[in-house]
Structure 1
Amino acid sequence: MRLFRSLAPVTAAVALVLCLPYDAMSHPRAGDGKPPARNLFGAACRTSVQDSHVVAYCHNPYVDTDRVRLHIECARWWDLDTDTAPQDAVAAMTVRLTGRCWQDVASVWVSHQKVR
């Protein structure tokens, strides 16, 4: 009798799960049953620093236009940090961005903006 009382809730839970339709147990998906497509965007950029000069090459393999800008942070407090003018990298295009500091470069990065 005691064994039956401890197994009763487990048995009820298993029976309930087995009675549910298959769709109720699976994860929710998009309307057609396929996972949503990823929105592919963004140019791949390579940067190089040589002395105080910085060059970045950004290649956009996707359809959407990517507006890229090179940002340069200079190491010296009196040396002005710079941002290049934005350039549009359209589909299958490589753009070249350049900039420099007067002396040492502390860090560089490229920002991306989707053009609508």
Structure 2
Amino acid sequence: MSRRSASALVALGVLGAVGVLVWPASTAAVSEPQKPAARPFGAACSVYVEGSTATAHCHNPYLDTDRVQLHVECERWWDVDADSAPVDLGPTGRATLTERCWKEIRSVRVSHLRR
């Protein structure tokens, strides 16, 4: 065997080995496992402000218990902000939450916590 043909044979062997190492054994697509869909959550709350009083009417249409709480921020710097006691709403549960400021209300929100 000549030196040239030996070099060619070695080059083919190297290319073949690289091809085996680089080329995937299977080109079939591998799918990622599906995550289960998140269950819907969160009570529907309607908030009303009348003067210095805020009221939230909440209804939980879902299976998971939702702990709702009304948070009222007062407009005046000296007026103390108020948070209602938390209420656990089970499926089809309803609750009315009320808080107030001495003077005007700046903002009102209802927080939700999955229980």
Pairwise same-fold verdict (TM > 0.5): yes
Matched, 1:28 2:13: no
Query: Could you tell me which residue of structure 2 aligns to residue 7 of structure 1?
Result: none
The 4+ residue runs of structure 1 with deviation greater than 6 A are none
Unaligned stretches of 5+ residues in structure 1:
1-15
Following TM superposition, by how much is the alpha carbon of 1:50 offset from its aligned partner in structure 2, in angstroms?
1.0
Q: Superposed, which structure 2 residues align to 1:47-66 within 5 Å? A: 47-66=47-66
TM-score (norm: length of structure 1): 0.71
Query: Could you tell me which residue of structure 2 aligns to residue 111 of structure 1?
Result: 111
What is the Cα-based RMSD across aligned positions, in Å? 1.8
User: Partner letter of residue 20 of structure 1?
Assistant: T
Query: Could you tell me which residue of structure 1 aligns to residue 18 of structure 2?
Result: none
Following TM superposition, by how much is the alpha carbon of 1:38 offset from its aligned partner in structure 2, in angstroms?
1.3
Structure number with bigger Rg: 2
Identity, % of aligned positions: 47
Query: Could you tell me which residue of structure 2 aligns to residue 90 of structure 1?
Result: 90
TM-score (norm: length of structure 2): 0.72
CA distance, structure 2, for counterparts of residue 59 and residue 20 of structure 1 = 52
Following TM superposition, by how much is the alpha carbon of 1:89 offset from its aligned partner in structure 2, in angstroms?
0.9
CA distance, structure 1, for counterparts of residue 69 and residue 61 of structure 2 = 17
Following TM superposition, by how much is the alpha carbon of 1:28 offset from its aligned partner in structure 2, in angstroms?
1.6
Cα displacement string for residues 10-67 of structure 1 (whole angstroms, at most 9, x for unaligned residues): xxxxxx8xx721x33xx5232xxxx521132111111111111101011111111111
CA distance, structure 2, for counterparts of residue 105 and residue 43 of structure 1 = 23
CA distance, structure 1, for counterparts of residue 46 and residue 27 of structure 2 = 53
Counting matched residue pairs gives 92
